């Protein structure tokens, strides 16, 4: 009888350990994952950060977001830009306009909207009311909040630790970049930077830009 009691106690301890491990795992959400897509730690080659020849009349320092082709450009000078791959969520894909970076945050806190929490609950995914910043946060390592005047548009350029989502239309979220890329952009653009989001509806107005592809000489030699 004593042996049976010891066995039961051991099983209970093991089970409690399993529960503790399970509860410590990051929560996977529709915002943070794309169902049915193979997970990989590699960004597809066409979406890796590149120096490209970009023909545009926009001033250096301007950010151009092409939500259709899934690229974000940082204009750097005459016929030169850094191009980053992006993933575009439902909120980002259906919108276009001219805004500015009104606020920036490192390892931002995520507060999912009530509608999103309700939608995900119906699908069996319980989202937290507030998720602190960190490696498992859907907003990733950095966030740049897009404003019109002094008003937050609710659109963001933010990071992700799931590279397989770059180049895709996502179920939720705005404009996402891999963490290394969003941190690089974050360091290079100040609050007040002009951001042109080119998407459906042409609400961004008449914006001309032509991506002529990788600038091989500048990629090799810089400048």
Residues serving a catalytic function are 158, 174
Q: Report residue 33 as tokens.
A: 């994952």
Note whether 144 and 157 are within 8 A (CB): yes
**Residue of 98, 94, 115 whose CA lies nearest to 30:** 115
**Residue of 99, 96, 64, 98 whose CA lies nearest to 80:** 64
**Residue of 25, 21, 84 whose CA lies nearest to 51:** 84
Taking the C-alpha atoms of residue 106 and residue 41, their distance in angstroms, rounded to an integer, is: 22
Kindly report the number of other CB atoms within 10 A of residue 180's CB atom.
Answer: 14
Q: What angle do CA 33, 34, 37 make, to 5 degrees?
A: 125
Dihedral angle of Cα 70, 119, 158, 54, to the nearest 10 degrees: 20
Q: What angle do CA 142, 146, 149 make, to 5 degrees?
A: 145
């Amino acid at each position: 009888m004593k042996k049976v009691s010891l066995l039961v106690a051991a099983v209970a301890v093991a089970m409690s350990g399993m529960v503790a491990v399970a509860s410590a795992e990051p929560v996977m959400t529709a915002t943070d994952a794309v169902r049915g897509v193979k997970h990989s730690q590699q960004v597809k080659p066409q979406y890796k950060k590149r120096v490209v020849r970009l023909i545009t009349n926009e001033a250096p320092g301007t950010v151009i977001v092409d939500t259709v082709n899934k690229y974000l450009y940082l204009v750097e000078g005459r016929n030169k830009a850094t191009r980053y791959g992006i993933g575009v969520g439902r909120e980002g894909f259906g919108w276009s306009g001219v805004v500015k970076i009104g606020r920036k945050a490192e390892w931002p806190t995520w507060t999912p909207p009530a509608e999103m929490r309700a939608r995900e609950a119906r699908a069996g995914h319980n989202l937290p009311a507030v998720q602190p910043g960190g490696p498992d946060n859907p907003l990733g390592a950095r966030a740049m909040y897009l404003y019109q005047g002094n008003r937050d548009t609710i659109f963001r350029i933010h990071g992700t630790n799931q590279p397989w989502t770059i180049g895709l239309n996502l179920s939720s979220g705005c404009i996402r970049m891999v963490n290394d890329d969003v941190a690089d952009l974050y360091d290079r653009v100040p609050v007040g930077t002009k951001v042109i989001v080119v998407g459906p509806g042409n609400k961004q107005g008449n914006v001309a830009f032509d991506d002529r592809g990788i600038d091989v000489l500048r990629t090799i030699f810089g400048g």
